[in-house]
Structure 1
Amino acid sequence: MNRAANLQSLLENSGFYELESRVLKIADGLGITALGMDSFLENLSGGQRAKVILAKLLLEEPNVLLLDEPTNFLDKEHVTWLTDYLKTYEGTFLVISHDFDFLDKITTCVCDIEFCTIKKYSGNISKFIELKGLRRESYIREFEAQKKEIKKFEDYISKNKARAATASMAKSRQKQLDKIDRLPPPELVPKPNFRFNALHISAQRSLSAKDLEIGYDYPLLSKLNFKIESGQKTVITGFNGIGKSTLLKTLIKQIPAISGKFKFADNIKVAYFEQDLNWDNPTLTPIQVVSDAYPKLSQSQLRRYLAQCGLKAKSMLQSVDTLSGGEQAKVKICILMLTPANFLILDEPTNHLDADAKEVLRKELIKWTGSLILVSHESSFYEDWADAIINIEG
């Protein structure tokens, strides 16, 4: 009886009887219950599995939580839930994210990697941006001043080391020069300059769908009926896992429709951006990847286009699977830029992009004169320029 009482006390103190409600609370918050709690992981998409992994980590309540782009596969309401959860989290967490609004609400300090060092800033992301700008200006002034000082030493040594009368002074200056702790040059991250050139569209309507059923073994949604006029920019929304990406893959004929039909106008040329960072051969470099898609381009042209998309010279020579998510996304956008098209189909193109690249892409899509279908969970990216929003949750 004593042993049973001790075990009962242990269960109560460890929160055993609240475990199921805790699991459901986090699963609801991240949108997992809508997928079916009895679903097999092998039947879930990559984004849906990422949600399950995140839920598992949160349930473990570790002292230190490391989150790498946790909002990439979350809908707006789930990002809000995660934000509120982290704001009251008792442990320490370290987050990497390109979601400015999310970071601004949860951060109390920012660790910034720049000039070959890590600098810690107190405050949220807005405060960090202000302080970082001041620090960058100060560092550049300091670097330029040191460069001038080094140049003076080098000029003096060069002029006087060969003359017997001044050789000792030149040697002394050389010792002083050797003791200088040289600052690494400020490395400016190249800002992308995406440019999409739309082909002319002669038809009035670009795409129409009638009683279209999408899915794999069974329909994911009720029958879809919609029309997209030429030059219309349409955003497709709905919670993750409902079938947005499946719809796009059906439209580009990567997977067959279950029933119904859809038709593009005769002169429509489609260019597609897939959100998953998959490569036919991940060991190829970005130069080789783009060259395979466009073999007539010279090496200098390939480098110029990749640089235009914001890729550094050294990154162009690495295998694509060693690049960051943002760099891989820019390689995909580079191929997209070179693809003659008048209808863009973009599946979460901002997932891995930094704030600068995201803003450049937003402005370029505003200028785009062709038709467009965009799937995005960031309403701030499209809400001021989208012509139509199709919510497929209904």
Structure 2
Amino acid sequence: MSLLEVSNLSHAFGDKVLYKHVSMELYKGEHVGVVGQNGTGKSTLISILTGEVIPDDGMIKWQPNITIGHLDQYAAMDGNRTVHNYLRQAFSELYKLERKMNELYEECAVTGNEKLLQKAADYQEQLEALDYYSMESNISKMVTGLGINAIGIDRPIEQLSGGQRTKVILAKLLLEQPDVLLLDEPTNYLDKEHVNWLAEYLIAFNQAFIVVSHNYAFLDKISTSICDIEGETIKKYHGKYSEFVKQKEHLRESHIRQYHAQQKKIETTEQFIRKNGAGVNSKIARGRQKQLDRLERIAAPTFVSKASIRFKELPCTSQVALKVDHLVVGYDKPLLPKLRFSIRGGQKLVITGFNGIGKSTLLKTLVGEIQGITGRFQFAEQVKVGYFEQDLTWEDDTMTPIQVISAYDPKLTVKEIRRHLAQCVVKDTLVTQSVRTLSGGEQSKVKLCLLLLSEYNFLIMDEPTNHLDAETKDALQKALIQFSGTVILVSHEEQFYQGWVDRVFNIGDETRNKGVK
């Protein structure tokens, strides 16, 4: 019996149909990855499964009495609680059981009632079976595995950033061990080491889960099946992500062959009908026309649009493009020790380090969004910086992509704006919707489009791949490889930058070494 049954699901967002008459099931212990181009409805599917979104049609049926854990980064949290106290809430039912047990032991000590003693002993057996007495050890493992120890477990929730908050919510969710986990982009705020830890945890997870992720190396490790959302359908493939890619390509090639063979047969039949509509073969022609009318037509192949990304370039200095000298970054207090490094013109540098250490703060300091605490940094005179920030924030999120681009460059015509957006695969049906209604990937593409409009010789990019689908990610990688200017990239996806960057600067090493040149 399945844990989840989805029958005849149909849903549209505005004029855009996401799914039409889709059915799927989830079984006990099944590990499902959900993939698809940006805007196809991956996050919406999770929202439908949790009941946050009511579909236009169809049935969502969960097996009775199962527990469902959903990674909701907007979950209500008591800001006055510490991280540790919040994580302990994962065991709230066990606390209640312990209180009942203690009350029975106390009452038994007074009355001598052996029935109460037996009931208390039963409660204790339940607690032991549920691993209650290893609770603190389990919390400690989770805190270390997800890098929450760097945040500080005695820190109040209200002091956490959005990414840190999401990590704590994920930790509590995993500690609760529900029957089904629903996770939407769980790796977005994790560095490489913690992504690997989460992958190992989910591989060993005995229950079922559905995970939406654009981190395909991560999906390949954890998945036993893949749900691919494309062309208003959800098709399930058995096996890992890499096996799904091969299966999909094979099926696509087979579909193309069958389509062209059928088209050739239709064309030949239509020619016969036209030639023999009258005369001695007219009866045969009418028979073939009836066969043609009954023929189930194979749909024309649909191909995923590919991004056409190319950065406009200014001449690049061959000397030092940026020098950082004893720079201390932070807000009320320093996040890092004094940083000392330099980067030459045309070099490509990746900055890594665990989440929350201060990578984004460093980039925001370099582009002038926040002030450094002490020290200095200097760009070469001819440097012009283009900046991509990971936060999907807008001055006015009611503006449409067309309005956003027009406000940036009023000289562009609407036709030119649509062409620029199309090159970043922002679908024409979405360019007149407010940006707040777009998916994370679609919003990232609009931000990327803004970056492509001006000329630069130094790019600073903060987790640009977080929300991007595979096709756009590949196009961005190629564009960065071709870019002859200087690049500073923050990324937790080693697969994205491996093989083409010149240097990897691990801020964690910098913290331990107290500054390197």
Give your verdict on TM over 0.5: yes
Q: In the TM superposition, what whole-angstrom CA distance separates every residue of 1:135-173 from its partner, at most 9, and x where no partner exists?
A: 112223344455567778989999999x9xxx9999998
Q: In the TM superposition, what whole-angstrom CA distance separates every residue of 1:321-376 from its partner, at most 9, and x where no partner exists?
A: 22222222211111111122111100011112222222222222122121111111
Looking at structure 1, the residues matched to 189 and 346 of structure 2 have their Cα atoms a distance apart, in angstroms, of: 28
Cα 1:263/1:120, change in 2 over 3 Å? same
Q: Say whether the 8 Å CA contact 2:348–2:488 is kept in structure 1.
A: yes
Cα 1:59/1:159, change in 2 over 3 Å? farther
Q: Is 2:471 the partner of 1:356?
A: yes
Q: CA deviation at 1:201?
A: 3.3
Q: Say whether the 8 Å CA contact 2:444–2:468 is kept in structure 1.
A: yes
Q: How many residues align?
A: 392
Q: Say whether the 8 Å CA contact 1:116–1:184 is kept in structure 2.
A: no
Looking at structure 1, the residues matched to 404 and 275 of structure 2 have their Cα atoms a distance apart, in angstroms, of: 51
Q: Mean Cα displacement is larger for which, 51-60 or 175-184? A: 175-184
Q: Say whether the 8 Å CA contact 2:329–2:372 is kept in structure 1.
A: yes
Looking at structure 1, the residues matched to 155 and 350 of structure 2 have their Cα atoms a distance apart, in angstroms, of: 29
2:325 aligned to 210, 219, 224, which one? 210
Looking at structure 2, the residues matched to 315 and 51 of structure 1 have their Cα atoms a distance apart, in angstroms, of: 31
Q: Say whether the 8 Å CA contact 2:316–2:345 is kept in structure 1.
A: yes
SS in 2 for 1:71: coil
Q: Which amino acid aligns with 1:381?
A: F
1:140 aligned to 222, 232, 256, which one? 256
Cα 1:315/1:143, change in 2 over 3 Å? farther
Cα 1:143/1:281, change in 2 over 3 Å? farther
Q: Is 2:429 the partner of 1:314?
A: yes
SS in 1 for 2:431: helix
Task: Give TM-score, length-normalised by structure 1.
Answer: 0.90
Q: Is 2:209 the partner of 1:93?
A: yes
2:315 aligned to 200, 203, 207, which one? 200
Q: Mean Cα displacement is larger for which, 148-157 or 85-94? A: 148-157
Name the structure 1 match of 2:244: 128
In structure 2, stretches of 5+ residues that fail to align are 1-107, 109-116, 512-517
In structure 1, stretches of 5+ residues that fail to align are none
Name the structure 2 match of 1:284: 399
Looking at structure 1, the residues matched to 275 and 359 of structure 2 have their Cα atoms a distance apart, in angstroms, of: 70
Cα 1:314/1:182, change in 2 over 3 Å? farther
Q: Say whether the 8 Å CA contact 2:316–2:484 is kept in structure 1.
A: no
Name the structure 2 match of 1:240: 355
Name the structure 1 match of 2:440: 325
Name the structure 2 match of 1:12: 128
2:338 aligned to 223, 230, 236, which one? 223
Name the structure 2 match of 1:272: 387
Cα 1:174/1:321, change in 2 over 3 Å? farther
1:53 aligned to 158, 169, 187, which one? 169
Looking at structure 2, the residues matched to 211 and 57 of structure 1 have their Cα atoms a distance apart, in angstroms, of: 40
Looking at structure 2, the residues matched to 181 and 286 of structure 1 have their Cα atoms a distance apart, in angstroms, of: 40
SS in 1 for 2:343: strand
Quote the RMSD (CA, aligned, Å). 2.7
Cα 1:111/1:266, change in 2 over 3 Å? same
Looking at structure 1, the residues matched to 427 and 272 of structure 2 have their Cα atoms a distance apart, in angstroms, of: 36
Q: Which amino acid aligns with 1:53?
A: I
SS in 1 for 2:205: coil
Cα 1:246/1:65, change in 2 over 3 Å? same
SS in 2 for 1:268: coil
Name the structure 2 match of 1:254: 369
Looking at structure 2, the residues matched to 320 and 148 of structure 1 have their Cα atoms a distance apart, in angstroms, of: 44
Q: Which amino acid aligns with 2:256?
A: I
Name the structure 1 match of 2:498: 383
Looking at structure 1, the residues matched to 431 and 341 of structure 2 have their Cα atoms a distance apart, in angstroms, of: 41
Looking at structure 2, the residues matched to 281 and 44 of structure 1 have their Cα atoms a distance apart, in angstroms, of: 25
Looking at structure 2, the residues matched to 315 and 7 of structure 1 have their Cα atoms a distance apart, in angstroms, of: 57
Looking at structure 2, the residues matched to 340 and 191 of structure 1 have their Cα atoms a distance apart, in angstroms, of: 23
Q: Say whether the 8 Å CA contact 2:182–2:211 is kept in structure 1.
A: yes
Name the structure 1 match of 2:54: none
Q: Mean Cα displacement is larger for which, 236-245 or 66-75? A: 66-75
Q: CA deviation at 1:178?
A: 6.7
Cα 1:42/1:339, change in 2 over 3 Å? farther
Q: In the TM superposition, what whole-angstrom CA distance separates every residue of 1:69-102 from its partner, at most 9, and x where no partner exists?
A: 2112211111111111111111111112122221
Q: In the TM superposition, what whole-angstrom CA distance separates every residue of 1:26-62 from its partner, at most 9, and x where no partner exists?
A: 1211111111012223322222222112112111111
Cα 1:33/1:148, change in 2 over 3 Å? same
Q: Say whether the 8 Å CA contact 2:318–2:346 is kept in structure 1.
A: no
SS in 2 for 1:390: strand
Name the structure 1 match of 2:57: none
Task: Give TM-score, length-normalised by structure 2.
Answer: 0.69
Q: In the TM superposition, what whole-angstrom CA distance separates every residue of 1:287-315 from its partner, at most 9, and x where no partner exists?
A: 22112111111111111111111222223
Q: Which amino acid aligns with 1:197?
A: K
Which residues of 2 match residues 70-109 of structure 1 at below 5 A?
70-109=186-225
Looking at structure 2, the residues matched to 68 and 124 of structure 1 have their Cα atoms a distance apart, in angstroms, of: 18
Q: Say whether the 8 Å CA contact 1:143–1:183 is kept in structure 2.
A: yes
1:371 aligned to 463, 467, 486, which one? 486
Q: Say whether the 8 Å CA contact 1:190–1:312 is kept in structure 2.
A: no
Q: Say whether the 8 Å CA contact 2:317–2:346 is kept in structure 1.
A: no
